[in-house]
Every structure is written in C-alpha cells, then in structure tokens.
Amino acid sequence: MSLRPKNLNFATYVLILFSAVSVAQTQTVNATIDASKTDAPISKYIYGQFLEHIGGIVNNNIWAEMLDDRKFYYPINSHPPTEPSGPSFRRMTVRHWMPIGAEEFVVMDTDHPYVGDHTPMVKLDSQDVRGIQQSGLAVRKGKAYKGRIVLAGTPGTKVRVTLVWSNVASDRQTVAIDKIGPDYRKVPLSFQAQGDSDDARLEIVGTGTGSFHIGAVSLMPANNVQGFRAEVIAALKQLHSGVYRWPGGNFVSGYEWRNAIGDPDKRPPIMDPVWHAVQPNDVGTDEFMTLCRLLDVEPYVTVNGGFGDEWSAAQLVEYANGAVTTPMGKLRAANGHPESYRIKFWGVGNEPWGEWQLGFMPVAQWELKHDMFAKAMRKVDPTIKLIAAGAMPDAMTGSKQAKRLNGQIVPDYLSPGDWSGNLLAHCLDNMDMLSEHFYSRSGQRTDLATGEKVSTGPQTLVEWERAPATQVRVKYEHYQEYLKRIPGLKEKPVPISLDEWAYTGATPNSYKVVPAYAWAFHEMFRHSDLYQLGAFTFAIAMMSESRTDAVLNPTGLLFKMYREHFGTIPVEVSGDSPQPKPIYPAGGDQPAVNPGSDTYPLDVSAAFSDDRKTLTFAVLNPSDSEQHLNLGIRGVTLAKEGHLWRMAPASVDAMIVVGQKPGVEVEEQPLAALPETMSVPPFSVNIYSFAVR
C-alpha cells in the first residue's frame, strides 16, 4: 500500500520527503539591513479585525446578553426547537424557554405581539404558579447582574422574576413586580449571585387571574461596557487593531440594517437566511460604532450587495454620516446619536463571485451593480473610501468559481473567471481599494489539473508555516500582471484590503499558527504600497474565552507584539540564503516565487519607527531547529542598548486556555548590544528594537 498522497507525483513526493529531513538542520545565515532603502509606510489598518454574525460570534462572544431568544422567536413548549436546515458552521445550540406549569397555559399570541410574529401569553390561575424559565446561564459568586423585562397583563397580576443558581431552595433572588396593566412597560431587574454556576436559570412566573404577556427580557452582567462583555473589551483593546470590518461576510447579503436600529426590544428577531440561525438584531449599526469607539478603531462597514439595493446602501451611508437635517441623520439622532459617525471605509458587497452568496451573478452584471452602488453612496457622501469586492485568480481557482464561470480551472487574466481583473478594468473610477480574501487550509493545496483540494502529503514545519504568506505573495504577483494589462491602474493604483484571512484547520488557541501569521505580516510589509488594510477572521480568534472570562491567546499576543513594537517604515533586508523554489507549479493560488527574505530558513523584516529614531527588525524562525543569524546594519548607526521581545514556547503546540496556566508568553529582555551572532530558537518570533544615534 502506497503512502504517497493521491494526485502527487513521485518526484514531488521525494522532494517533500527530502525537504522534511533537510530543513531541520541548523545553519548560519548572513543578512544585511540597508537603512538607506525604505518603502511605503506600513498602515496601522493591516492589523485590523473582522466580525460577522455567525452563530454566537457577536451575540455571545462579544455582546453581554446572557439569554438566548430573548424576544421569543421560537414558540415556548417542553420540546427544544427543531434545528434549522442549512450549514452548521459555527451554529450554537440555542438555550430555549420552557414552561413552568402545564404546557397548555403558555400560548404564543399572534394578535398582539410586542415584537416579531408572536409574544408569549401566560394564562393564570389563582392557585397555581405559571410562567417560563431558561436554564444554562453562567453566573459567578458575588457578581451583579442587571436587565429588564417588558410586561403587560390583567390588573392585579403579580409577576416574580427569579435568578436561581443551585437546587438549594435559598440559592435564589427574586424581583417582585405588582403593578401590571394592559399596556406594556419596562421594569428593571437586578440580582447578585451568591454562588458559582454554569447552569443557573431565570424564572418568570405569575399568579392571579387572567393572563400576562412577556414582550422581551434581557439579562447582562452589571459590569458590561455599554452592552459589551467587559472582559472581552479589556482583551481586544490591548490589540490597537486600527480597523474593524462588519457585519459580513456572507451574512451581509441577507441583512436588513433597518431591523437593527432603534429600541433593541422592538427590533424583530429573524431567522438569518445565510447561516440559518436566529438573529436578535441587538447589535446593529449604533452598537458597532460604540464597539469601535471603545476599542479606538476605525469602522469599516460592508453594505448588502446580495439581496440589497443601492437605495438602501445610500440610506445607510446617510444614517451613519449624514447631518441631522437629512432624513436618515434625523433618525440617527432620534435613536440617541446626534453626531455623525463619519465612517470612512465602505465595502460594496461580499464575495458576489461565489455561488454560495445570496444574489451572486456574472461579473458583467456585478460591474453594473457595483457602479450603481458606488454612485448612490458617493452622492450621499463624496468623501467615503469605497472597497470593491474582488477575487483574483487564486481565489477563483481555489473556490472553483472560475471553472463555473468560464470553464477554466485557472482563469486567464481579464477573462470572465478573473473577477478582480474585470473590476479593475471596468470599474476603476468607482473604487478606492480592492477587497481580497484567502483562507489557507492546513495540509491541503489546489491541484491545478483538476481544481480539487488534495493533500500536501508530508510537510516540513517551514512549509506548513509558509502557507498564509504564500497567499499574500501570490496576490502580489497577480497584481503585477494587472499592471501590465490595465493602463489606468498605473495612473490610479488600487491597494488591497485583505479583509478576510486566516489559517483554517489549526487547533484553536494553539501557538502553531503564530509563526505563520508573522510570516504573512512580513510579506505584507514587503509590499506595503499594495497591502494597506487587513481584517483577520475573526476578532474572537484573538482570545481564549469562556462565558465569563477572556484572555488573549497566542495569536492575540502576536498581533499585540507587532502592533506595539514593530516599526512603520519598511527597510530593505538582503541575505545570502535564498528561499527555495516553490514545490508546486505556478498558477492560480500558487506563486512563481516563494515568500520570504533571502535568509532561509529564517525570514527577516525591518522597519523604522514613524520618526525614524528607532530601528526595529523581526526575525522569524519557522523551523523546528535553532538557527543562527549574522546581521549587518548599513546606512545608520545604532545605540548599543536595545530591547528584544520574543515568543518561543517549549512546544510549537503550546496553548493559552482561559482559566489555565498559559503555555505561551511574550518575553521582554534588555540588550546590552546587538549580538554579533543571533541564536534564534526553533519556531520563534523575535522583534529587536534599537535607538538610532
């Protein structure tokens, strides 16, 4: 039985096996940093993040709401709701409401709903306690919880809302509500748990005659930060990410932004048609802007180019940026936000080239639609920066969409299967940046003969870590081909917004992806004129979190380390050890030249600080052996003393898991001088910093 992966020829297989042995060897590399040769500044937006309403990414991981289905999308009975059909990616099991008392006494009133299609009505009896409950809540001893409930009912009804944290009869607190009338009113709730529980419950019961309605209910930790989880805000704020992209992603193609403004309790819950999960619409435009302010990042909003229209997109621009004298600006002010948000970055649609996208269409039709959106949005605010939804041949090959559109696995440049090429050729006047996405997949590559994903076979650690940087490099190469074919692109360069990117298939919270992401950063720095915005998928991937706590994981520590300590003006690095040639033939998502500096197996990147008073350089060792580096500095004299920040855990699979002792840390140490020969630990990321004399 052969162990050689299918679709991998014998010669290539032997090369991979040989490489797997050879790259583990220790060697000494000579490199030079020439401070007289610099490039375009590195944008702070490169370190940006992406958020999308998938499962609980926003509603549970970042938003502080503890209750699921708080506006009662599902009917209330003793049986869990049927799982919706469709993709299960990141879908979370919804905690459902259960009746207290006989099931038939809780009915869903469709004639007088408070919000959405129906509202639970509890029929009362003078003897029995009847109502509803939701269990599975996480509470901690001594912690306060606050919320609200919207009630209406027969006068004389007495409602009790109780937080229960154990089966001991005394382990509960109750808020009594006696003034119930026919009109809905909001009543505040306040509790303090006296014990720890991951299965606490909230009970809402009533006694009396007649009935009462529950319009909506909410419960959050009292220390929430304007609706967001305090521990999550504290973790994400450390990253200084520059920009956040929102609300999608695929989600945006079925999203109606007007459902998510105004009184949160009156926003209708809906079944999201993209990810097939209930969307409460609690986190809308205004809440996203609050998050951006809390994290001190620029907002980047993508408008619905799927089932949406240019009029709705223009209205959203006016809602966000319009003066209070405009119709939508007036509505924003009425919702409590009189000052314009002045959102600069706007994306027109998401992946309209993919058959999974609501409203996907051929590129010739999308060009017309993009221009319609751009003109309508700029008419409202001419100062906005428009980001077009692109897909270069790498994305069109790997996703099989080029084959669908024009029968080619690897599309010819400017053919119907080259989405970005067509947008750049025909919509250049109506865009300021080009959105590009990539997801490197662990242990997989695209077979250019079949278009299928196949196993890479045995890989060295170096080649595993190289994968994301490879995708950054291949997009650079495609862009160079566009420059040859599209004359207007030289006169009006359109930089890339890499607003979805990640390494998929890796273990969550593991260090192993850290060298890979550092390498991707270095490749972006080498082409800093082209890569000017990034949005990593997803912001929550920066953290390890439970329902009550959150800490930065290894990926988060890496982003923080580069953002805080690496410079902004790239400086040329040369060396005497070129990167090897790519293993696979060039084309589609495989580059002609491997990413990396001429310092193999190391990768070195350097940059001045903004004021050029500090020189920083990052040394990445993606191999599993210690390597040595002799580094020369030209064009500048450095101070003797410096600093080193290093991530070098004992194992490449080391982890940070909330509530456990971290297996990864950023070590900081002062340096008395630049080492004559640097010893670079295996799979380590190192940032050196020296003042310029």
Q: Provide the pLDDT for residue 82.
A: 75
Q: Provide the pLDDT for residue 86.
A: 61
Q: How would CATH label the architecture of 98-221? A: Sandwich (2.60)
Check residues 11 and 677 and name the one with the higher pLDDT.
677
Q: Provide the pLDDT for residue 91.
A: 52
Q: Is the pLDDT confidence value at 16 over 80?
A: no
Whether residue 247 is preceded by a cis peptide bond, meaning omega within 30 degrees of 0, is: yes
- Sign of the CA dihedral 497, 542, 462, 460? negative
Percentage of the chain lying above the pLDDT 90 cut: 90
For the residues 280-291, what does the mean pLDDT come to?
Answer: 98
Q: Provide the pLDDT for residue 127.
A: 79
Q: Is the pLDDT confidence value at 87 over 80?
A: no
Q: Is the pLDDT confidence value at 233 over 90?
A: yes
Q: Is the pLDDT confidence value at 656 over 70?
A: yes
Name the band, by pLDDT with cuts 50, 70 and 90, for residue 118: very high
pLDDT tens digit string along 170-205? Answer: 999 999 999 899 999 999 999 999 999 999 999 999
pLDDT tens digit string along 122-146? Answer: 999 877 899 999 999 999 999 999 9
Residue 650 burial by Cβ neighbours in a 10 Å radius (0-12, 13-18, 19+): exposed
Q: Provide the pLDDT for residue 1.
A: 33
For the residues 582-599, what does the mean pLDDT come to?
Answer: 96
The kind and range of the H/E element at 110 are none
Residue 13 burial by Cβ neighbours in a 10 Å radius (0-12, 13-18, 19+): middle
For the residues 222-243, what does the mean pLDDT come to?
Answer: 98
Q: In this structure, are residues 268 and 262 in contact, taking their beta carbons and an 8 Å threshold?
A: no
Check residues 85 and 30 and name the one with the higher pLDDT.
30
- Tell me the sheet residues that pair with 189: 147
SS3 (DSSP) at 362: coil
Sheet holding 144-153, edge to edge: 106-109, 119-123, 211-221, 144-153, 185-192
**Domain limits of the chain?**
10-39+573-692, 44-62+228-563, 98-221
Residue 584 burial by Cβ neighbours in a 10 Å radius (0-12, 13-18, 19+): middle
pLDDT tens digit string along 591-623? Answer: 999 999 999 999 999 999 999 999 999 999 999
Strands 444-446, 453-455: pairing kind: antiparallel
* Nearest partner of 248 among 304, 166, 189, judged by Cα: 304
Mean pLDDT, all residues of the chain = 94
For the residues 21-27, what does the mean pLDDT come to?
Answer: 61
Q: Is the pLDDT confidence value at 97 over 60?
A: yes
Q: Is the pLDDT confidence value at 469 over 90?
A: yes
Where are the strands (E) in 336-413, listed by range?
Answer: 345-348, 385-389
Q: Is the pLDDT confidence value at 227 over 50?
A: yes
* Nearest partner of 180 among 161, 160, 162, 159, judged by Cα: 159
Q: Please give the single-letter amino acid code of residue 510.
A: S
Q: Provide the pLDDT for residue 505.
A: 87
- Give the domain 10-39+573-692 fold: Immunoglobulin-like (2.60.40)
- CA–CA distance, 505 with 299 (Å, rounded to integer): 29
Check residues 671 and 127 and name the one with the higher pLDDT.
671
What contacts 373, CB < 8 A, 6 or more positions away? 303, 305, 310, 313, 348, 349
Q: Is the pLDDT confidence value at 2 over 50?
A: no
Q: Which CATH number fits domain 44-62+228-563: 3.40.50.720, 3.30.1300.10, 3.20.20.80, 3.40.190.10?
A: 3.20.20.80
Name the band, by pLDDT with cuts 50, 70 and 90, for residue 67: very high
Same-fold call for 44-62+228-563 versus 98-221: no
pLDDT tens digit string along 498-522? Answer: 999 999 988 999 999 999 999 999 9
SS3 (DSSP) at 37: strand
pLDDT tens digit string along 236-277? Answer: 999 999 999 999 999 999 999 999 999 999 999 999 999 988
For the residues 38-57, what does the mean pLDDT come to?
Answer: 96
For the residues 364-382, what does the mean pLDDT come to?
Answer: 98
Q: Provide the pLDDT for residue 314.
A: 98
SS3 (DSSP) at 259: helix
Name the band, by pLDDT with cuts 50, 70 and 90, for residue 13: very low
Check residues 676 and 23 and name the one with the higher pLDDT.
676
Helices (H) and strands (E) in the chain, counts: 13, 33
Tokens of 528: 């800093």
DSSP state of 90: T
- CA–CA distance, 537 with 501 (Å, rounded to integer): 6
For the residues 413-417, what does the mean pLDDT come to?
Answer: 97
- CA–CA distance, 185 with 187 (Å, rounded to integer): 6
For the residues 374-396, what does the mean pLDDT come to?
Answer: 98
Q: Please give the single-letter amino acid code of residue 341.
A: Y
Name the band, by pLDDT with cuts 50, 70 and 90, for residue 23: very low
Check residues 24 and 568 and name the one with the higher pLDDT.
568
Q: Provide the pLDDT for residue 5.
A: 41
